Amino acid sequence: MITQGDADLTSRFRANLAYLIHERFGVLHEDTVLAGALGVDHATINRIRWAESLPDDDRLEALSRYFAVPANAWDLPHEAFVSECRRRRSAPAYEHEMRPTAVSMRTLEHHRHLWHRSHEIHQGQYIVYWKAFGQEGHYVASVLEIQELGDNGISFALINPYIRDDDDGDEVRTWKYTGVMYPVADYLYFFGEQTDGNYELCSMMTTASPIAPPDVLRGCLMGVHVKDGKQQIAVNIAIVLMFLKKPVAGWRQEIGERLGKLPAGKVPERIRRMMDPYPGVIPLS
């Protein structure tokens, strides 16, 4: 049973969160936009905003980190909370706090304290969507698995199946990449290489979900491909990762028809809405 004190805390939390959402996103599609930014579904945000109790410590910490407010400020009366937020925004250090974090080996090591929690949140399987190059109305879907936490990072495997080469007619090929993922601030950085075929490196940067389980992560994939041992091709691709809530043991049998080069009708509408404002493959050289 909720006591009057609990109800007052919950009421203040709701008002303070609503203020931050309005300040960040405006009044339209608040829950939907925040859900996308945090990498969770709309229902999760709805539960957080309208629950009859405060979020648990992990979610409260995640919201504090995302909105750059002190964790102990949520239970302030609304007017005091607004004043505190405005004071922080006017402080000289605020601009530095909100500045994007540069990625370097030192930065990756500096964020080692995030590895365990990030692994707990993000481990599992995803379908990775991007637009097919030169194919209007078509998309590409691959499968990604974030695997084990180790001393050198969080391992992952990316399988890019059912991509047909023009020279090979209907031959089906599968490319596999393996590497490590590192959480840095509110992003995840993936570094991998192709395990067979032509030598290729890939890296991805996506948003990080502060709340488990994730729903979708947005970002971009960069790759350097060496064709015929001499021609270098670099690309930049906008991507959306959709979390598979039900793990699959054999992706080829269980989700094979949802992977590879797909017409728009086979891609979830909400995924298309996230991707369509963005270009597909952008050759960098």
Q: Is pLDDT larger for residue 132 or for residue 258?
A: 258
pLDDT score at 233? 62
- Percentage of the residues of the chain whose pLDDT score is greater than 90: 15
DSSP structure class, residue 184: E
Q: Is pLDDT larger for residue 123 or for residue 236?
A: 123
Residue from 115, 5, 16 nearest 67 by CA: 16
SS3 content of the chain, % helix, strand, coil (to 5): 40, 30, 30
- Specify the DSSP element, H or E, that contains 191: strand 187-194
- Specify the DSSP element, H or E, that contains 204: strand 200-207
pLDDT score at 98? 45
Q: Which two tokens stand for residue 96?
A: 């530095």
How far from 88 is each of 19, 67, 81, 96, CA to CA, in Å?
Answer: 15, 11, 11, 12
- Specify the DSSP element, H or E, that contains 82: helix 78-90
pLDDT single digits (tens) 141-186? 999 999 999 999 999 999 887 555 445 445 556 788 899 999 987 7
Confidence at 188, pLDDT banded by 50, 70, 90: very high
CATH number 2.60.40 is the correct assignment for the domain at 114-283: no
Rounded Cα distance between 98 and 209, Å, is: 17
- Range in 44-48, 136-140, 187-191, 197-201 the model is least confident about: 197-201
Confidence at 225, pLDDT banded by 50, 70, 90: low
Query: Which residues of the chain does CATH 2.40.128 include?
Result: 114-283
Q: Which two tokens stand for residue 207?
A: 């948003």
pLDDT single digits (tens) 6-51? 678 888 888 888 888 877 766 555 566 677 666 667 777 777 777 7
